[in-house]
Structure 1
């Protein structure tokens, strides 16, 4: 079970972790509420999750490109 959980945590965008660090809330709590909201609203938070995931990943990519002066 831990192996599956670790694989999922590494392969998803890390939105819950990012929100937890920004808001000072445990990541597991954010994941739990996200799952509850997804069931109650029939999956509409997935759109928000994907938007935030792409935004965070693009932002990290742009920041890395600016910080690395040796890259062509």
Structure 2
């Protein structure tokens, strides 16, 4: 069970972790609120989660593109 937990925390997009760091809120509580809201609203926050994950991935790509390393020349 712990292996699954660590896999999900490390391999999933990291949206809840990033939001927790930005707003200085515990990551666990953000995940719980996300789960509760998803059950109440029949899963519509999943769309918001995926949009945030996509946006974070695009920002990371753009940062790498603007700051190439020595090996990328």
Taking structure 1 as the reference length, the TM-score comes to 0.92
RMSD: 1.1
Give unpaired runs (5+ residues) of structure 1.
none
Q: After the TM superposition, which residues 39-54 of structure 1 pair with which residues of structure 2 at under 5 Å, given as runs?
A: 39-54=39-54
Which secondary structure state, in structure 2, belongs to the residue aligned with residue 46 of structure 1? Answer: helix
Counterpart for residue 12 of structure 2: 12
Counterpart for residue 59 of structure 2: 59
Q: After the TM superposition, which residues 25-40 of structure 1 pair with which residues of structure 2 at under 5 Å, given as runs?
A: 25-40=25-40
TM-fit CA distance, 1:10: 1.8
Taking structure 2 as the reference length, the TM-score comes to 0.91
TM-fit CA distance, 1:69: 4.7
Runs of 4+ in 1 over 4 A off after TM superposition: none
The structure whose RCO (Cα within 8 Å, separation 6+) is larger is: 1
